[in-house]
A and B are shown apart, each in its own frame.
Chain A
Amino acid sequence: MTTRHAHAAARGASGPAARREAARQQALLRVLFAAQPAPAPLPELGVRQRDQRWSAGLAAYRGNGLEHAVAALRAQFPTVLAMLGEAPFDALCARYWYAYPPQQGDLARIGAEFPVCIAAQDELRPWPWLADSARLDRARWEVLFEAPSPLAVQDLQRLAECDSACLQLCLAPGTRLLETRWPVFRLWQLHQAPNIDGAALRAALRQPAAPLWIWRADMQAQCREISANEVDWLRALATGTRLDQALDAAAADFDVAAWLQAAVQHGWIDGVRAWPEASATSR
């Protein structure tokens, strides 16, 4: 899920009456996403309500947007929620909501910039693994929106029979590589327990970090730590490299046979395509 430009419709109503409504709607949206609630309605809104009734109406909308966003972000970032606690998480959501107003009408798709927003919070600098924990939560969320692997026997046949200089091995869209300097996978695992053990968390933080591989399996997200060798190989595949070049990029002792077996079992491969036709569909 990438941020994209919303389509401003070229069609639709035009003319002065419709333009007037466009201006009114822009003004209301600005009021809703302003850092502070406006004490009185702007004249261009033409709102009937005044004083206390204006404040209550405005608060109903500002509160509703935010409460829905908080609920969506809580579902999407459970580890960050546990790390921060509910009230600080909600306050962070509010900062996020006003700093990054959503661009689509589906709350399941907000949150892409949440890790960046976390990294920008001065108050959170003493916990530098928070942003990467958010990236892991986000990756686990994103893979569920991607199609499962359609790998067929024909793909494996191409792999068995064709020259690697004529092939491309395409990773399934429901996979993510996350490189991090923090042991966020271990932290995530520890956060699955009903009573989270502080000593275990502190011990985990003393362990070295490893890159993470996240994928969708059986409609749920899976994750595991991977080696630097595997990262080289996956990076090469993810950039759409020709298969022979990807193999050259992998370390000499990288066990490509074991990787293929796991990849087929877990649905990491979208397909094995002929080069250069494959380049048109590479990720």
Chain B
Amino acid sequence: MNKYQILSVAAASLIAAGGLAAVPAAHAASMEKCFGIATAGHNDCAGISGLHSCKGQATAYYIPGDFRVVPTGTCEKMGGVDMAQAKAIMNKTSKVVAFEAKVQAKANWQG
């Protein structure tokens, strides 16, 4: 069979199996589940000037350049690569080995 024949046979067997009948159930979350997974909206009309908190005060008076973005989260755990290497990896897969060695070295150093 060529790929189209395979596809049409597969479609026919899905119809025969009634596979599609199950689809609406599979896609309709139960109402009670919706109450659990609905996420909070972020539009509201309360003022959160943040003036009351240190963090808020910093952002309210935020001046770009005063804040360096130095990761403190899991990036810190992962270590980083220098840009030349990152570029090399992006451009040339043969450099992946070198990158891996670098990551390995960092892992050893941090671990």
Tell me if B78 is interfacial: C-beta within 8 Å of chain A. Answer: yes
Q: Are B34 and A62 in contact (CB under 8 A)?
A: no
- Indicate if the CB atoms of A196 and B27 lie closer than 8 Å: no
Most chain-A Cβ atoms within 10 A of its Cβ — which of B8, B51, B82, B89?
B8
Interchain CB contact under 8 A, A123 and B70 = yes
A75 interface residue (CB < 8 Å to B):
yes
Check A202 for interface membership: any CB of B closer than 8 A: yes
- Contact in complex: A219, B10 (CB < 8 Å): no
- A60-B49, A159-B11 known; A75-B39 Cβ under 8 A: yes
Complex contact A66–B26 (CB within 8 A): no
| Majority DSSP secondary structure for residues of B touching A | helix
In the complex, what residues of A have CB within 8 A of residue B28's CB?
Answer: 218
Whether A127 touches B23, Cβ cut-off 8 Å, given contacts A63-B60, A261-B14, is no
B98 at the interface (CB under 8 A from A): no
The listed residue (A67, A124, A181) touching B69 by CB distance below 8 A is A124
**Nearest-CB residue, chain A, relative to B72:** A85
In contact, A63 and B63 (Cβ under 8 angstroms): no
Q: Is A189 an interface residue (CB 8 A)?
A: no
A265 — which chain B residues lie within 8 A by C-beta?
Answer: 19, 23, 26
**Least Cβ–Cβ distance between A127 and chain B, in angstroms:** 5
Give the number of chain A interface residues (Cβ < 8 Å): 82
CB-based A-B contact count at 8 angstroms: 227
**Chain A nearest Cβ from B46, distance in angstroms:** 9
Given that A35-B64, A63-B51, A267-B23 are known contacts, is A107 also in contact with B111, CB under 8 Å in the complex? no
Assess the A88–B72 pair: CB atoms within 8 A.
Answer: yes
A43 in the interface (beta carbon within 8 A): no
- Asked whether any CB of chain B lies closer than 8 Å to the CB of A19, the reply is no
Say which residue of B51, B59, B90 sits within 8 Å of A128 (CB atoms): B90
A219 partner residues in chain B, CB cutoff 8 A: 29, 33-34, 37
A59 part of interface (Cβ distance < 8 Å)? yes
B23 to chain A, nearest CB (A): 7
Q: Are A67 and B74 in contact (CB under 8 A)?
A: no
Bound together, the chains give a CA A208 to CA B111 distance in angstroms of 21
Q: Say which residue of A90, A153, A164 sits within 8 Å of B4 (CB atoms).
A: A164
Enumerate chain B residues within 8 angstroms of A75, measured Cβ to Cβ: 39-40, 42
Q: Does B94 contact A (CB under 8 A)?
A: no
Closest Cβ of chain A: how far from B22's Cβ, in Å?
8
B90 touching A63, Cβ below 8 Å: no
- B63 proximity list for chain A (CB < 8 A): 35-37
Extra contacts besides A89-B73, A94-B62 (9): CB < 8 Å = A35-B64, A59-B51, A59-B61, A63-B59, A87-B72, A105-B43, A160-B8, A219-B37, A260-B10
Residues in chain A within 8 A of chain B (CB atoms): 35-37, 56, 59-64, 66-68, 70-72, 75, 81-92, 94-95, 98, 105-108, 121, 123-128, 130, 148-149, 151-153, 156-157, 159-161, 164, 181, 191, 196, 198-199, 201-203, 205-206, 208, 217-220, 243-244, 247, 250, 254, 256-257, 260-261, 264-265, 267
